[in-house]
C-alpha cells in the first residue's frame, strides 16, 4: 500500500491545536485543514497508508465520511503537498484518534502572500533553495 511522504524541503508543515498549516515554499502558497483534516494529515505524515486512514475513518464515522477522508488525502497529493510511494515501508508510530463531532474536512488554499513568500529570503538562500534567517540583523 502506498504511503505518503512530505516532499521536503519544498513543503513544510506544522499541526497545532487541530489546525494543520502546510506551506509550499517554492510556490509561495499555504494550505490549511482543521479537525478531521488535520488528523488525516498527521496520520499520513506519521506513516499510515491512505487506505488505512480511509478505512479507519469509515470504521469510526461511517462509509460516507471515509470517502471524504480518502478524497482529502487525494487532494493533498494532487496539490503536491504529499507524495505517494509504494517503496515506503515506514510503520506508523501513533494510532489514529478521530475527533467528534464529524465535520467534513476541507483543504483551504491561500495564495495571498505568494509574491512575498517566494521572494523574501533570497539574500540568504543555500544551494537547496531553503530560506535562511538573517543571523544578525538586516541583510
Positions that interact with another protein (CB under 8 A): 9, 12-14, 16, 19, 21, 23, 25, 30, 32, 108, 110, 112-113, 115-139
State in angstroms the smallest separation of the CB of 38 from another protein.
12
State in angstroms the smallest separation of the CB of 71 from another protein.
22
State in angstroms the smallest separation of the CB of 137 from another protein.
3
Burial tier of 131 (Cβ tally within 10 Å: 0-12, 13-18, 19+): middle
Our CB check for another protein shows the closer of 29 and 49 to be 29
Our CB check for another protein shows the closer of 9 and 99 to be 9
Q: Alpha carbon 20 to chain centroid distance?
A: 7
Our CB check for another protein shows the closer of 95 and 138 to be 138
The x, y and z cell numbers of residue 91, run together, are 510503520
Q: What angle do CA 27, 82, 8 make, to 5 degrees?
A: 65
The x, y and z cell numbers of residue 35, run together, are 479537525
State in angstroms the smallest separation of the CB of 91 from another protein.
25
Our CB check for another protein shows the closer of 5 and 118 to be 118
Closest Cα partner for 91 from 38, 49, 34, 30?
A: 49
C-beta separation of 4 from 76 below 8 A: yes
State in angstroms the smallest separation of the CB of 106 from another protein.
13
C-beta separation of 76 from 11 below 8 A: no
Our CB check for another protein shows the closer of 95 and 133 to be 133
Amino acid at each position: 500500500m502506498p504511503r505518503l511522504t512530505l516532499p521536503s524541503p519544498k513543503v513544510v508543515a506544522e499541526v497545532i491545536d487541530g489546525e494543520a498549516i502546510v506551506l509550499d515554499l517554492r510556490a509561495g502558497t499555504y494550505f490549511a485543514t482543521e479537525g478531521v483534516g488535520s488528523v488525516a494529515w498527521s496520520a499520513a505524515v506519521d506513516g499510515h497508508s491512505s487506505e488505512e486512514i480511509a478505512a479507519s475513518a469509515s470504521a469510526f464515522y461511517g462509509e460516507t465520511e471515509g470517502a471524504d477522508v480518502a478524497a482529502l488525502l487525494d487532494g493533498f497529493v494532487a496539490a503536491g503537498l504529499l507524495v505517494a510511494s509504494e517503496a515506503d515501508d515506514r510503520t506508523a508510530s501513533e494510532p489514529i484518534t478521530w475527533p467528534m463531532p464529524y465535520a467534513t474536512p476541507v483543504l483551504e488554499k491561500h495564495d495571498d502572500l505568494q509574491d512575498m513568500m517566494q521572494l523574501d529570503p533570497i539574500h540568504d538562500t543555500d544551494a537547496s533553495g531553503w530560506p535562511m534567517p538573517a543571523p544578525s540583523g538586516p541583510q
